[in-house]
Amino acid sequence: MSNGDPAATAPLTVSGGAITLPASYSDIHVGLAIRYPELEPLDLDVQGEAIRDKWKRTGSVTVLVESSNRGFLIGPDAAHLTRYTPAAYEPTTVAVTQGLEQNIASSFTQSGRFLLRHEDPLPLTVLAFVPSVEMGG
C-alpha cells in the first residue's frame, strides 16, 4: 500500500472484525502504530545485600533471549544507546536462544538502571537481564 498511496499511513477503523480499504491490494500489513518498544528494569537491588543506597555502574548487560532477532539497542538511557553487535562468527539471519552480551557506556548512578529499545519489526523475546555491576563511585 505504500506506493505513494495516502491509504498507506491512513488510520483505519476495525468494524465487526474487519477493515474496509479504499482500494484492492495484494500485500497488506496491518498493525498498531507503535513507535518502538522499550524495556527498563527497576532499580538494581540484591536480596540480603544493602546496595540500594550505594552508587552503581552497569558496564555491560547480558540479555537472555528466546527465538529472537538480535536487532536491539541498549544503554544507560534513551539518549545513549548502543546497537548490539554480534561477534564476527555469529550468523545474523537466524533467530537465537542465548545470552547476548553488550558493553554500555555508563556512569555511576543511584539506580543502576539501563534501557533496551527494539526498533526492528522482528521477534525479540527477552527472558532476563543479567547486568554486570560495579559498586562505588
CA 127, distance to chain mean position in Å, is 12
Q: Give domain status of residue 125, yes or no.
A: yes
User: Given pLDDT bands bounded at 50, 70 and 90, which one contains residue 6?
Assistant: low
For the stretch 67-88, pLDDT in tens is 998 889 999 999 999 999 888 8
CA distance 55 to 137: 6
What does the pLDDT read at residue 2?
45
Q: Give domain status of residue 9, yes or no.
A: no
For the stretch 102-128, pLDDT in tens is 999 989 999 999 999 998 878 899 999
Q: Are 102 and 61 in contact (CB under 8 A)?
A: yes
User: Given pLDDT bands bounded at 50, 70 and 90, which one contains residue 93?
Assistant: confident
Give the range of the structural domain holding residue 114, as residue numbers without chain letter. 38-135
Q: Give domain status of residue 7, yes or no.
A: no
Q: How many domains does the chain have?
A: 1
CA distance 43 to 21: 46
